[in-house]
């Protein structure tokens, strides 16, 4: 029995399309457009170039021990309201002879996924001596140091510290150099021009809790200085991390973005419709 003519034509078209797809150059087959930031996101440097930036996740000096997925350039990206609030806080700091310094700002979901993969790999303990000396890696999820979602991915959360002016950039981290516990005395820890906060940034230890009673004297005063200054401009501290603050109200309280950290993510044209979000 002969097939109808329309069926033969459809088969021919399908075969032709399949052949064309199979013969595409590899670069064309892989070309998937990256998501871009909504218009509400800005580079902090365009709002306030005086705020210092030490973007740790573009380097190997972080608890993963390598540049983190999604961090293409060392640029702090935030929602515009959060960036403007930081600018107001910075003016207060500058009048007193200090500056804010950011370690991390917007964080794409792919970076959070990288953290999760790292935490699940119990054989990778190369950074333990600095970032989590007293915590077994099997407890990173249970104790809340690693989570599958981060407020940073909503764009209004920032990790930061205070620097006394004038300052010189600290020496760069050299992979393989000896690691020192993040809660060691400041003179022994990795060199950082931050005020002494009692621990380094991203220290997985209860000493990082903002109000830990073991933190006293100058270290406690410095933490209060940071929290009091930022809270006056709408930021709320995460009690488990002295460096972690979220601007409220957040423009995107229920959306987790995944555009990469790079200047091109902010290029026009942009739409309020990211290619990959995670509504809660």
Residues that are catalytic:
241
Rounded CA-CA distance 23/18 in Å is 9
Rounded CA-CA distance 208/221 in Å is 14
Rounded CA-CA distance 245/241 in Å is 9
Rounded CA-CA distance 34/264 in Å is 10
């Amino acid at each position: 029995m002969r097939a109808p003519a329309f069926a033969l034509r459809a088969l021919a078209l399908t075969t032709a399309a399949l052949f064309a797809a199979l013969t595409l150059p590899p670069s064309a087959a892989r070309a998937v457009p990256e998501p871009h930031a909504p218009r509400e996101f800005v580079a902090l440097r365009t709002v306030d170039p005086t705020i210092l930036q030490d973007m740790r996740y573009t380097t190997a000096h972080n608890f993963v021990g390598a540049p983190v997925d999604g961090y293409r350039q060392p640029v702090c990206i935030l929602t515009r309201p959060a960036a403007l609030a930081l600018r107001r806080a910075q003016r207060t700091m500058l009048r007193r002879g200090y500056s804010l310094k950011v370690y991390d700002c917007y964080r794409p979901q792919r970076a959070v996924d990288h953290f999760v993969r790292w935490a699940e790999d119990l054989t990778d303990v190369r950074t333990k001596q600095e970032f989590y000396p007293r915590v077994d890696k099997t407890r990173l999820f249970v104790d809340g140091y690693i989570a599958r979602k981060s407020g940073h991915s909503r764009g209004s959360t920032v990790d930061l510290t205070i620097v006394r002016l004038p300052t010189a950039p600290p020496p760069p981290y050299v992979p393989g150099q000896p690691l020192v516990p993040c809660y060691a005395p400041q003179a022994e820890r990795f060199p950082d021009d931050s005020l002494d906060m009692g621990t380094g940034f991203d220290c997985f230890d209860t000493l990082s809790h903002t109000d830990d009673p073991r933190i006293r004297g100058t270290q406690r005063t410095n933490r209060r200085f940071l929290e009091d200054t930022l809270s006056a401009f709408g930021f709320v501290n995460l009690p488990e991390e002295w460096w972690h603050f979220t601007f409220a109200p957040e423009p995107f309280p229920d959306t987790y973005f995944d555009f990469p950290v790079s200047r091109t993510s902010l290029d026009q044209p942009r739409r309020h419709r990211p290619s990959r979000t995670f509504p809660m």
